[in-house]
Homo-oligomer: A and B are copies of this chain.
Amino acid sequence: MMKEITIYDIADKLKISAATVSRGLKDHPLVNHKTKKLIVDAAEEMGYRSNYMASNLRNQKSNVIGVIVPRLNSSFMSDVIAGIEKVVNDANYNLFISQSLETMKKEASNAKAMLNNRVEGLLVSLAYDTADIAHFEPFIKRKIPLVFFDRVFEHAACPQIYIDNYKAAREVTTHLIDQGCKRIVHITANLLRSVYSERFNGYKKALEEHQLEFDDSLLIVNDLSSQAGVAAAGQILKMPVLPDGVFVANDLCAISCMQTLKKHGINIPQDIAFAGFNNDPTACVVEPNLTTINYKGYEMGEAAAKLMVAHLNNYDVKQMHSVVLRSELIIRESSLRNKSS
């Protein structure tokens, strides 16, 4: 192992004190220009690299921002992470990333690890089954900024970044109704998560606004996976009266469900109109192209990270606003019946 150069080595070489070297390296005004140059040159020549572990200890800050997400490998989430990385990197922080794999247990253990690693802030999108945020209390107690995005949780101390899921879902459902749908199945996940309950509420609201009764036999709750989509298709096919529309809370599940129905001879959108949520890359590749809600993960990641960095730069700013990002309905063939409209 190569011996690392420290400021003491530089100090010795220049017959100067380590304090001066430390100040010189960071352009402190208390050091002479000429000395500064000598120091910087010597550091360069000797191959010095600052030891962040020492400086972090001394400064009592880790320069790290933590991220906990359910899974890293979804189209949406990887966009979010990319956005976060960009902002965090530009702000000279480092990123600790971990995934909860959709369980509250892992989420809690990850949170603990983040806490012990002294992250200066934590960005979180909650797991499916997270019922409370007790495991994040240590952060709140210590006033370590905690920002929720997408799968958020209401808490006075925690800013949130999300889209208006209620409005979006209402919009989608209204669109399906406009296309003549009267029996609309809604496939979603754990209603504990506000993203899903909001979408569900938006769906119900749209029905209500059009004098359609909500029928809970048309509500399918699963994990929105690809397999769940196939199963849901099976469930739909077994319904005594077939629905004429399906609104799924994500594209992945929507597509596998739609394709399964298609294989069983159902015409999309004539027999059943389809709409998803997220605008995954697959949505505009599948045939028919999937109507969906577009909301860009990259921007959400950027927004969350920017909010975090802002807080870290001036924590006193107690105006921790929540941010609602734009989302839009993208109408494609999977739901377009009256081509004229």
Contacts and interface: CB of A to CB of B under 8 A. Distances in A.
A259 B285 CA distance: 9
A52 B117 contact: yes
B57 A142 contact: no
Interface stretch (A34-42, A68-76, A328-336): A68-76
B52 A54 contact: no
A293 to B, nearest CB: 18
B98 A85 contact: yes
Nearest to A71: B82
A73 B62 contact: no
Contact of A2 (B56, B141, B281): B141
Contact of A281 (B52, B56, B282): B282
Interface string A273-291: 0000000011001110000
B89 A78 contact: no
Contacts of A73: 75, 78-79, 81-82, 297-298
A94 interface: yes
Interface residues of A, number: 50
A179 interface: no
A47 to B, nearest CB: 8
A314 interface: no
A34 to B, nearest CB: 26
A89 B110 CA distance: 9
Nearest to A88: B98
A87 to B, nearest CB: 12
A287 B333 CA distance: 15
Interface in A97-132: 97-99, 110, 113, 115-118
Interface string A50-62: 1111101100101
B116 A50 contact: yes
Nearest to A49: B116
Contacts of A74: 78
A255 interface: yes
Most B CB atoms within 10 A — which of A56, A60, A116, A286? Answer: A56
4 smallest CB-CB distances across A and B, nearest first, come from: A78-B78, A73-B82, A72-B82, A73-B78
Interface of A: 1-2, 49-54, 56-57, 60, 62, 71-75, 77-79, 81-82, 85-86, 89, 94-99, 110, 113, 115-118, 141-143, 252, 255, 259, 281-282, 285-287, 297-298
11 contacts: A51-B57, A52-B117, A52-B118, A72-B85, A81-B81, A85-B98, A89-B99, A94-B113, A94-B117, A95-B98, A282-B285
